Amino acid sequence: MEKSKITKQSENFSEWYLDVVREAGLSENSEVRGCGIIKPYGFKIWELIKKFLSQEIEATGVENVYFPSLVPMENFEKEKNHVEGFSPELAVVTHGGGEKLEKPFAVRPTSEAAMYGAYARWIKSYRDLPLRLNQWNNVIRWEKRPRPFLRWSEFLWQEGHTVFETEEEAKKEMWQMLDIYAKVCENYLCLPVLKGRKSENEKFAGAVITSTIESMAKDGKSIQAGTSHYLGQNFSKVFGVKFLDRKGKEQFAHQNSWGASWRLVGSVIMGHGDDHGLRLPTPIAPIQIVILPIYRTDENLEELESAGQLSQKVSVMDFYINGLKVFENLQKNYRVKIDERMDLRPGFKFNEWELKGVPIRVEIGVKEVESKTAIIFRRDTMQRKIVQIENLEDEIKLAIEAHDKNLFLQALAFREQHTFRIENFSDFEIGVKKDIAGYFDVSWCEDPNCEKEIKEKTSAVSRVLPTKNENKLPKNSKCFHCGKPAKHDWIFARSY
């Protein structure tokens, strides 16, 4: 067996993550500090996630547009909280076309300030509403502590920007889009997520409400995997997005914005990966099935070659794989790769495809050809099953279903095992400092200052008020930290 180039998760989770990202060929650092190069295998995962997100978003009637990536700096200054939140992270263009610009531009960190001036021009009457637009683009937010996919200074995402007549409609859509993010995570990424809203401190700069989906990494930290914001009239008032309502009265519109990025790739890696590397859910796996002809064992290469038997084996196996209808069907219905490399030992190839997280491996050696069978290896369980060749397609279908279901259930079980009800702050501090911590279910006062203190002491913050707790009395009437009256049961955690 190859010596693994991957740190064990239990030794150092952060190192494990960097190792997997590098060794699986997902991405690497670029010469621009904090910005990554996404390599083909990593980019294909993102393209597949994007495909599902696109489908779901467009099915609700949203249309795609494109706005310039440069935003006049003065636009940022219109919304007070927005500028406070984003100005430390801006990249600023001061020269263009060989000259110093009269007014500098920011490269968009998000497009509220780029789009809403146009919205103000477009929207005159309630008949122009709702307006529901989306764009897929790159944004730049200067990051102090970059981390592949999760926190790069430049990232790809979609940002939806929608406008409504009423608060009610807008809030309904905010939750609808959050549900879409949750659905994509659960159905295609096999990742369970917690849905709910953010605290005052943790919400988007300029939002009235931020709702979030949170997925758990295998070190117990939380990943904000998508957010949907109700912006209220904060932006419509400063950008002048107003309309004549059904009674002919001028009103400021209610706005939302919602976004999901290639953080989702990071969520998948951290939520499913193990010490062997990636484990990819089938819907977003660039290669869903790898077919591995085993021309030889690790030991008998020279033996075979000297006996002149290797070429004979190859042609028999090639005939088996390329001549049978069952393999043809697989290649029609799945993203399949046949690994025909002759110069690598099977053990090396096993490791490589496990590292790359290919869900299903089909191994075919001499014995299989002779007995008209094949071996199906599942990445999730790392277990093999011998099947009759005529059943291969059906067996693979079942294996894929089981694989994806198992990924989801394992992640769900992991989250449940790493969610702890905490009643007092000293237990919380101890819990947070554990190597594998998790989610802390606490009754909390919701006071921003209380949260600030908790963060300073533990580096943990509130992640989400789960929707199911929104209308429930807290389990404890007092805040776990400050002892003031608790408002709801929240999830606190450390996060990426």
Q: Would you tell me which residues interact with its own copies (CB under 8 A)?
A: 28, 30-32, 35-40, 43-44, 47, 63-72, 75, 87-98, 104-105, 107, 117-118, 133, 137-138, 140, 142, 144, 153-154, 156
Give min distance, CB of 357 to its own copies, in A.
17
Positive or negative torsion for Cα 183, 184, 190, 194? negative
Residue 214 tokens read as 């949170």
Q: Which helix (H) or strand (E) holds 84?
A: helix 80-86
Q: How many CB atoms lie within 10 A of CB 351?
A: 20
**Closest CB to its own copies among residues 122, 319:** 122
CB of residue 154 vs its own copies: minimum separation in angstroms?
Answer: 5
Interstrand relation of 63-64 and 70-72 (parallel, antiparallel or unpaired): unpaired
> By C-beta, is 97 or 308 nearer to its own copies?
97
CB 431 within 8 A of CB 437: yes
- Supply the minimum distance, in Å, between the C-beta of residue 257 and its own copies: 17
In the complex, the smallest distance separating the C-beta of residue 16 from its own copies, rounded to whole angstroms, is: 23
What is the nearest approach in angstroms of its own copies to the Cβ of residue 155? 10
SS3 assignment, position 491: strand
Pairing of strands 131-140, 63-64: parallel
The 336-338 sheet, strands edge to edge: 336-338, 289-293, 360-364, 373-378, 383-388
Instruction: Say which residue the tokens 């495809």 belong to.
Output: 353
CB of 219 to its own copies, least distance (A): 27
CB of 11 to its own copies, least distance (A): 28
- Whether the CA torsion 312, 316, 322, 323 is positive or negative: it is positive
Closest CB to its own copies among residues 3, 144:
144
| H or E segment to which residue 237 belongs | helix 234-239
Q: Check: CB of residue 273 under 8 Å from CB of residue 266.
A: no
486, 137 contact by CB (below 8 A): no
Closest approach, Cβ 138 to its own copies, in A, equals 6
CB of 34 to its own copies, least distance (A): 9
**How many angstroms separate the first and last alpha carbons of the chain?**
34
Helix (H, G, I), strand (E, B) or coil at 150: coil
What is the DSSP secondary-structure string of 158-204? EEEEEEESSHHHHHHHHHHHHHHHHHHHHHHS----EEEE--TTTS-
Among candidate residues 440, 447, 436, the one with its CA nearest the CA of residue 464: 440
Judged by beta carbon, residue 115 or residue 208, the one nearer its own copies is 115
* Residue nearer to its own copies on the CB measure, 93 or 398: 93
Q: Residues 416, 417, 423, 427: is their CA dihedral positive or negative?
A: negative
Residue 65 Cβ vs its own copies, minimum distance, rounded to whole Å: 5
Q: Which residues of 14-26 are buried (b: 16+ CB within 10 A; e: fewer)?
A: eebbbbbbbbbeb
Q: Which residue, 124 or 484, has its beta carbon nearer to its own copies?
A: 124
- Minimum Å gap between C-beta 66 and its own copies is 4
Is 111 or 210 the residue whose CB approaches its own copies more closely? 111
Q: What is the crossing angle of helices 40-59 and 167-188, to 10°?
A: 140
